[in-house]
């Protein structure tokens, strides 16, 4: 007898959609079969997915839990974040450790893993390592040990020299170059937040001279040119070192063009978009409490957002992430000028349903492409594919039943993060996850939490696949 059978669904991979039943035993997918094939064997629990899609549990490649980069930007705990993720169909998230300046890289990763484990998150998790500031040569030398421990990705910032709200995260190109030499040598991947600090500084000074210091001018202070310039610099370093490169939260059409050119030239590069950057506009900064709509890079006008949609559809962009960094509203409203403004969005729970509604339902994005962007590609890029991101025998039984006809309206009261506001208030989606299964455990079903708590496990990363 199986532990769980999901019957009568349309099972989706990044390649196809087939009418199959899924059989689960001991937290693993053990068999796929035609509808009704496993009826004679039976199961302790059966879920009828008739008329619905069964997709791999979402892999969110970019979240921040239990992280403080300043006194203002202090992220929610992994218990709250993972709970929200499961409600939204995300069964695995990839969080970040933080090493600043002289911090020991190995110790920072170990401390983060121990802290997360002790807090008992509800979903599975992998880890990236942030390396920030003016770090010493020995930090790069420690990257091999960290990779061998299952943390294969390292994030750097080309901006944020230091403000009250964000803190000092920027590393210079020489340090990033030295890190790329190590990731190429030892089978890791370099991640970069791309915004050029010098171009930003010029625009901040120019806007200040014009009296335009209100935070609503943030998209002018941090223009698309700043993103494109940093993207092209990082592409050049990747070309010279051979290091795989992952560019986080692409927001500008010019950056998409640069990435496509780099890939055509043989540079091993992948890039993500955020669903918040597909939705929100610079005009939102003019709304009451407009700071709540701010993340870095800032919101872009419609022509850039439409280019992101096109690039997600045609493969120029590779993953869809949330960049969840949930802070309380009082903290979000700290800072009201273009040079001192808190980032961060409450977004892990809304990622998959928003993308299904706007992408699959409204823009005819294929279900297979949805799977590729929300689960399969993130798993491949960070070395956890096969266990995560796919529905096949031997994989973890991470499954989401998506009802393409279900309509759902988000409110502050029906989201599950540790947050006291929602930028998605009143937003209706068409297509919604009605069941989320983590390693064979039914966690959320038809609007109810029905699973165990605190069962999340660390998933070590292997060799990134680009």
Is the pLDDT reported for residue 155 higher than 80? yes
Mode of pairing for the β-strands spanning 43-48 and 2-12: parallel
In a domain, 275, yes or no: yes
Position 400 scores a pLDDT of 99
Is the domain of 221 the same as that of 270?
yes
Residue 205 CB contacts under 8 Å (≥ 6 apart), including other chains? none
Q: How far is CA 217 from CA 68, 166, 206, 214, 226, in A?
A: 26, 18, 12, 6, 15
Is the domain of 350 the same as that of 421?
no
In a domain, 455, yes or no: no
In which domain, by residue range, is 307 found?
A: 59-381
pLDDT tens digit string along 288-299?
Answer: 999 999 999 999
Is the domain of 369 the same as that of 255?
yes
**What's the whole-number mean pLDDT along residues 108-130?**
98
Q: Are the CB atoms for 60 and 92 separated by under 8 Å?
A: yes
> Average pLDDT over the chain, rounded to whole?
97
Q: 365 pLDDT band (50/70/90 cuts)?
A: very high
Position 4 scores a pLDDT of 98
Q: 166 pLDDT band (50/70/90 cuts)?
A: confident
CA 64 – CA 82 distance, rounded (Å): 11
The SS3 assignment for 18 reads strand
Is the domain of 28 the same as that of 75?
no
Is the domain of 68 the same as that of 197?
yes
**What's the whole-number mean pLDDT along residues 354-363?**
98
Beta bridge mates, 435: 401, 445
Query: Measuring CA to CA, which residue among 457, 402, 396, 441 is closest to residue 30?
Result: 396
Total domain count, the chain: 2
**What's the whole-number mean pLDDT along residues 155-159?**
98
Position 354 scores a pLDDT of 98
Cα torsion at 250, 253, 254, 257 (round to 10°)? 90
In a domain, 208, yes or no: yes
**What's phi and psi for 243, nearest 5 deg?**
-70, 135
In a domain, 119, yes or no: yes
Q: 174 pLDDT band (50/70/90 cuts)?
A: very high
CA 247 – CA 240 distance, rounded (Å): 17
In a domain, 457, yes or no: no
The SS3 assignment for 145 reads helix
- In this structure, what token pair is assigned to residue 357? 């509604």
Position 339 scores a pLDDT of 94
Is the domain of 397 the same as that of 358?
no
Is the pLDDT reported for residue 164 higher than 80? no
The SS3 assignment for 411 reads coil
CA 36 – CA 8 distance, rounded (Å): 8
**What's phi and psi for 67, nearest 5 deg?**
-125, 135
Query: Measuring CA to CA, which residue among 249, 131, 135, 148 is closest to residue 190?
Result: 131
Is the domain of 339 the same as that of 423?
no
Residue where one domain finishes, among candidates 345, 362, 381: 381
In a domain, 192, yes or no: yes
CA 398 – CA 378 distance, rounded (Å): 15
DSSP letters, 283-313, are: GGGGSTTGGGG--SSPP--HHHHHHHHHHHH
Position 219 scores a pLDDT of 98
Q: 129 pLDDT band (50/70/90 cuts)?
A: very high
Position 167 scores a pLDDT of 75
pTM of the shown model = 0.98
Residue 214 exposure: Cα atoms within 13 Å on the Cβ side:
8
Is the domain of 210 the same as that of 188?
yes
**What's the whole-number mean pLDDT along residues 402-411?**
98
Position 450 scores a pLDDT of 98
**What's the whole-number mean pLDDT along residues 363-372?**
98
Position 162 scores a pLDDT of 76
Is the pLDDT reported for residue 237 higher than 90? yes
Q: At which residue do the structure tokens 């000028």 appear?
A: 337
pLDDT tens digit string along 300-316?
Answer: 999 999 999 999 999 99
Is the domain of 148 the same as that of 265?
yes
Q: Are the CB atoms for 310 and 357 separated by under 8 Å?
A: no
Position 138 scores a pLDDT of 95
pLDDT tens digit string along 425-466?
Answer: 999 999 999 999 999 999 999 999 999 999 999 999 999 999
Q: What CATH number has the domain bearing residue 88?
A: 3.20.20.140
Containing H/E element for 30? strand 28-33
Percentage of the chain beyond pLDDT 90 is 97
Position 163 scores a pLDDT of 74
Is the domain of 10 the same as that of 110?
no
Is the domain of 115 the same as that of 148?
yes
Is the domain of 39 the same as that of 65?
no
pLDDT tens digit string along 260-289?
Answer: 999 999 999 999 999 999 999 999 999 999
């Amino acid at each position: 007898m199986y532990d769980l059978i999901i019957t009568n669904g349309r099972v989706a991979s990044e390649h196809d959609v087939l009418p199959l039943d899924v059989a689960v035993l001991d937290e693993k997918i053990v068999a796929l079969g035609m509808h009704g094939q496993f009826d004679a064997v039976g199961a302790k629990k059966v879920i009828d997915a008739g008329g619905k899609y069964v997709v791999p549990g979402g892999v969110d490649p970019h979240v921040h839990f239990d992280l403080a980069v300043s006194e203002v930007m202090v992220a929610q705990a992994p218990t709250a974040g993972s709970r929200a993720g499961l409600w939204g169909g995300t069964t695995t998230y990839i969080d970040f450790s933080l090493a600043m300046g002289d911090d020991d890289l190995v110790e920072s990763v170990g401390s983060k893993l121990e802290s997360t484990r002790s807090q008992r998150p509800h979903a599975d998790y992998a880890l990236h390592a942030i390396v920030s500031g003016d770090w010493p040569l020995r930090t790069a030398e420690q990257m091999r040990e960290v990779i061998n421990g299952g943390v294969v990705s390292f994030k750097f910032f080309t901006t944020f020299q230091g403000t009250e709200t964000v803190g000092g995260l920027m590393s210079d190109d020489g340090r990033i170059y030295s890190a790329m030499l190590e990731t190429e040598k030892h089978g890791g991947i370099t991640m970069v937040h791309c915004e050029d600090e010098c171009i930003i500084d010029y625009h901040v000074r120019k806007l200040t001279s014009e009296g335009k210091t209100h935070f609503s001018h943030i998209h002018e202070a941090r223009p698309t040119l700043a993103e494109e310039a940093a993207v092209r610099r990082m592409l050049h370093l990747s070309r010279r070192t051979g290091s795989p490169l992952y560019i986080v939260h692409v927001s500008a059409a010019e950056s998409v063009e640069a990435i496509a050119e780099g890939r055509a030239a043989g540079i091993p590069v992948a890039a993500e978009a955020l669903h918040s950057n597909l939705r929100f506009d610079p005009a939102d900064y003019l709304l009451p409490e407009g700071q709540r709509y701010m993340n870095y890079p800032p919101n872009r006008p419609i022509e850039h957002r439409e280019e992101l949609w096109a690039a997600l559809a045609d493969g120029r962009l590779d993953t869809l992430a949330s960049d969840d960094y949930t802070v309380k509203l009082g903290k979000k409203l700290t800072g009201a000028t273009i040079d001192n403004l808190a980032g961060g969005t409450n977004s892990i729970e809304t990622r998959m349903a928003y993308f299904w509604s706007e992408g699959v339902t409204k823009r005819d994005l294929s279900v297979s492409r949805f799977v590729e962007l929300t689960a399969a590609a993130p798993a491949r890029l960070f070395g956890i594919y096969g266990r995560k991101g796919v529905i096949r025998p031997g994989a973890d039984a991470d499954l989401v039943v998506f009802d393409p006809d279900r309509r759902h309206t988000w409110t502050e009261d029906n989201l599950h993060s540790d947050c006291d506001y929602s930028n998605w208030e009143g937003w209706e989606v068409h297509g919604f996850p009605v069941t989320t299964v983590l390693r064979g455990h039914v966690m959320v079903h038809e609007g109810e939490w029905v699973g165990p708590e605190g069962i999340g496990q660390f998933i070590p990363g292997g060799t990134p696949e680009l």
